[in-house]
């Protein structure tokens, strides 16, 4: 009874557009879910409606997402509404890759393709290393090796009716490489991410009885060709398809998404299209400004009040902006805004460094949205290959690399390692003997100390190395996660370890999340920290206050070559703007500190109607570039870390003024004025340079001879 009460309560919260989508019974229904329109709510309502009102078992549904986070959210919300759902019924709910992996492990005859049940998943980097090894061994002529990953993806789409991508010629052996690489992966019992989708598609086409009653897809606009083929293989004449997405959020063409998925599916399946036009998230001002970057944004409607205008700031350089944002964020936080409700967006990942440094100095808690994967830590990269080779004796390449590693392992030559592995010479290598015997001993290993004792890692990470303690800690942490995962799943240890290794390849593991918060106490729900992330990483998130930085040509947008690239950059900027609920601040640099980036605001700033903008009067002044260059060169003698330290120390002094027990302070800071930056306080100066902290612009450093500063008030 409680289940039905919850269903009625949830149903009452849907608007007319959402209800229409949920109740639609078309063979194929595409839902154009505009930004902030309750896409996930509709997806879950559809799934529950099919199960509770139409009697469709969860096991008869395939629910496909693009991120593990989205899949877990859907499953968690379903289990919250009905805790009695057996988790086994939700095995078809996951990312494209995880669902394909599950099908290949449990339901599809993978042996037809030459694989065993214990096949392992390898990352794109591992696949590329394997390909490069084949190129070297076979002396293949391959063009554009620096783009090898993309060229292999394009070659996979080759068929009689789908020509290979441009760039292949008679003297280029990319297709031969692909054939050899495929054979090598089969021989080593490995599948890449693309193989999971492609192999599952091949076998599903040969196993028509597998087709589910319903296929439900989240973020369908991001599909690539392999994923569309996978969907088509799952869908027979009786299978119904419900797909939700937003063509205005196509921002992943660089990784293969097609871009016109809605048109393709409508034509292929004569789909009915529904629309969710109401944005519940952003204020009317933010939404109106964001719509300026859409080609077809007239259907997007907001229901909120205008709220505050969009703030536009001209910052001198990224360091000055970081100092300014540290102050601004602290003011917001003291006014009651949680740190976790504030986010700083940028175009490229390397822009985060200055924010990390300044926020750390100013004690602003932050979290960088960049998952550090196992392969990013040298000792863990070695460890994962050791475990791969131990679990899969066909994995020759991992075993060779483990033995011949230059920092870990036995440090023997690659030639000798390959001879030992291919000829099975266990008597010539203690570590290879351990690798070969692991599967037999695996059932007796249930704790981390037992696993450490079996491999005796201290013999191979070398106590004399400077990284010894860090390597020990990293190995112990990883093994703890792996053993804990095995205990939770209550499955045979061998199966659990293989599953964990495959998951770490697919999703990575947030081993050392880049945050200045203690990792032991951190969970996504508990972290109260400012989020630092690229515009791409921001998709699917929302915050009360958003700062988008570096809106200069060369960053936002990047230097573009085609109209299609320009259209995608605008959509990306639209995605960033619509993450904000109540406050949006945009900024650009006079001195971007990057010769690829043009000083001054990009055209995107000027595309926003003036009536929606606050502080637009703060515009760039004419810049004498040679003189500015001399100033910058002189200012470089003051290191960034010294700037941040001086500012932080100054704040502490000002804070201590209210404390009668505090030590005596130096004389009051001098105040100066500038025709552009207003009134500020002198932080430091010498014979050549002067550094001033302006209220609205943060720290500025000048060459005295060109500063145009004037003493403010009566300070003589």
Residues 448, 483 contacting (CB under 8 angstroms): yes
Neighbours of 437 (CB within 10 A): 13
Please spell the DSSP secondary structure of 671-682, one letter per residue: EEEETTTEEEEE
How crowded is the C-beta side of 146, counted as CA atoms within 13 Å?
Answer: 0
Greatest alpha-carbon span in the chain? 91
Strand 671-674 to 678-685 pairing: antiparallel
How crowded is the C-beta side of 190, counted as CA atoms within 13 Å?
Answer: 27
Residues 282, 304 contacting (CB under 8 angstroms): yes
Q: Tell me the three state secondary structure of residue 197.
A: helix
- Which residue ranges make up the annotated binding site for ATP? 33-40
Residues 506, 193 contacting (CB under 8 angstroms): yes
Specify burial of residue 359 (Cβ count, 10 A radius: 0-12, 13-18, 19+): buried
- Which residue ranges make up the annotated binding site? 33-40
Neighbours of 250 (CB within 10 A): 22
Neighbours of 434 (CB within 10 A): 18
Query: Which positions ≥6 away from 635 have C-beta within 8 Å?
Result: 689, 701, 703
Residue with tokens 């969009």: 310
3-state helix, strand, coil in the chain (%, to 5): 50, 15, 35
Nearest to 286 by CA among 604, 577, 546: 577
In degrees, rounded to 5, the angle at the alpha carbon of residue 680 between the alpha carbons of residues 679 and 682 is 145
- The packing angle between helices 225-234 and 193-205, to 10°, is 30
Q: How far apart are CA 420 and CA 434, in angstroms?
A: 13
539 DSSP β-pair partners:
none
615 DSSP β-pair partners:
none
Q: How far apart are CA 697 and CA 552, in angstroms?
A: 18
Specify burial of residue 393 (Cβ count, 10 A radius: 0-12, 13-18, 19+): middle
Structure tokens at 675: 């025709």
**Sign of the alpha-carbon dihedral angle for 270, 272, 277, 278:** negative
In degrees, rounded to 5, the angle at the alpha carbon of residue 205 between the alpha carbons of residues 202 and 211 is 125
The alpha-helical segments, DSSP class H, found in 188-244 are 193-205, 225-234
Neighbours of 340 (CB within 10 A): 18
Please spell the DSSP secondary structure of 123-185, one letter per residue: -HHHHHHHHHHHHHHHT---S-GGGHHHHHHHHHT-BTTBPPPTT--TT--HHHHHHHHHHHH
Query: Which positions ≥6 away from 577 have C-beta within 8 Å?
Result: 282, 286, 289, 290, 293, 546, 548, 584
Per-residue 3-state assignment (H helix, E strand, C coil) for 405-465: CCCCCCCCCHHHHHHHHHHCCHHHCHHHHHHHHHHHHHHHCCCHHHHHHHHCCHHHHCCCC
Residues 275, 17 contacting (CB under 8 angstroms): yes
Q: How far apart are CA 413 and CA 323, in angstroms?
A: 51
Specify burial of residue 214 (Cβ count, 10 A radius: 0-12, 13-18, 19+): buried
């Amino acid at each position: 009874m409680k289940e039905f009460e919850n269903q009625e309560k949830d149903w009452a919260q849907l608007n007319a557009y959402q209800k229409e989508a949920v109740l639609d019974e078309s063979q194929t229904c595409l839902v154009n879910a505009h930004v902030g329109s309750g896409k996930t709510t509709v997806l879950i309502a559809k799934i529950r409606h099919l199960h509770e009102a139409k009697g469709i078992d969860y096991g008869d549904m395939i629910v496909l997402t693009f991120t593990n986070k989205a899949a877990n959210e859907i499953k968690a919300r379903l289990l919250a509404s009905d805790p009695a759902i057996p988790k086994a019924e939700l095995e078809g709910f996951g990312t494209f890759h995880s669902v394909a992996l599950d099908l290949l492990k449990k339901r599809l005859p993978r042996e037809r393709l030459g694989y065993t049940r214990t096949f392992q998943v390898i990352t794109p980097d591992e696949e590329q290393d394997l390909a490069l090894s084949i190129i070297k061994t076979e002396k293949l002529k391959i063009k554009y090796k620096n783009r090898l990953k993309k060229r292999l993806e394009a070659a996979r789409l080759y068929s009689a009716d789908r020509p290979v991508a441009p760039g292949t010629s008679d003297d280029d052996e990319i297709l031969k490489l692909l054939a050899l690489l495929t054979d090598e992966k089969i021989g080593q019992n490995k599948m890449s991410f693309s193989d999971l989708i492609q192999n599952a598609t091949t076998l599903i086409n040969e196993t028509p009885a597998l087709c589910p009653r319903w296929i439900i897809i989240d973020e369908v606009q991001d599909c690539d060709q392999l994923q569309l083929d996978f969907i088509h293989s799952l869908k027979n004449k009786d299978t119904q398809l419900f797909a939700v997405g937003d063509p205005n959020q196509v921002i992943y063409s660089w990784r293969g998404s097609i871009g016109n998925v809605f048109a393709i599916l409508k034509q292929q399946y004569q789909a009915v299209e529904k629309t969710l036009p109401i944005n519940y998230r952003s204020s009317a001002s933010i939404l109106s400004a964001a719509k300026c970057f859409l080609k077809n944004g007239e259907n997007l409607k907001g229901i909120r009040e205008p709220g505050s205008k969009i703030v536009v700031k001209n910052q001198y350089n990224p360091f000055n902006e970081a100092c300014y944002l540290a102050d601004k964020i602290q003011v917001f936080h003291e006014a009651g805004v949680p740190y976790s409700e504030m986010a700083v967006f940028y175009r490229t990942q390397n822009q985060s460094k200055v924010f990390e440094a300044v926020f750390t100095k100013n004690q602003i808690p932050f979290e960088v949205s960049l998952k550090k994967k196992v392969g990013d830590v040298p000792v863990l990269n070695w460890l994962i290959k050791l475990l791969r080779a131990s679990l899969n004796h066909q994995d020759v390449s991992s075993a060779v690399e483990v033995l011949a590693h230059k920092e870990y392992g036995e440090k023997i030559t690659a030639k000798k390692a390959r001879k030992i592995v291919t000829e099975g010479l266990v008597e010539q290598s203690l570590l290879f003997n351990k690798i070969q015997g692991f599967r037999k001993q695996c059932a007796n290993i249930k704790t981390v100390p037992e696993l450490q004792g079996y491999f005796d890692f201290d013999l191979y990470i070398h106590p004399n190395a400077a990284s010894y303690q860090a390597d020990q800690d990293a190995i112990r942490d990883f093994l703890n996660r792996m053993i804990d995962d095995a205990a939770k799943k209550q499955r045979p240890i061998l199966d659990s370890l293989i599953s964990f290794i495959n998951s770490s390849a697919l999703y990575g593991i947030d081993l050392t999340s880049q945050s200045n918060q203690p990792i032991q106490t951190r969970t996504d729900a508990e972290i109260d920290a400012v989020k630092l992330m690229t515009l791409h990483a921001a998709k699917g998130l929302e915050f009360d206050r958003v700062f988008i930085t570096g809106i200069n040509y060369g960053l936002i947008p990047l230097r573009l070559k085609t109209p299609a690239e320009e259209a995608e950059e605008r959509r990306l900027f639209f995605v960033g703007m619509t993450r904000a609920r109540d406050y949006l601040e945009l900024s650009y640099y006079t001195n971007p500190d990057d010769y690829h980036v043009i000083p001054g605001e990009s055209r995107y700033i000027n595309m926003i109607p003036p009536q929606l903008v606050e502080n637009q009067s703060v515009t760039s002044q004419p810049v004498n570039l040679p003189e500015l260059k001399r100033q910058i060169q002189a200012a470089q003698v003051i290191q960034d870390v010294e700037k941040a330290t001086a500012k932080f120390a100054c704040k502490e002094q000002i804070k201590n003024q209210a404390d009668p027990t505090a030590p005596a302070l130096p004389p009051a800071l001098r105040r100066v004025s500038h025709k552009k930056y207003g009134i500020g306080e002198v932080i430091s100066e010498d014979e050549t340079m002067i550094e001033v902290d302006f209220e609205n612009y943060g720290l500025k450093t000048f060459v005295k001879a060109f500063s145009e500063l004037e003493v403010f008030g009566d300070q003589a």
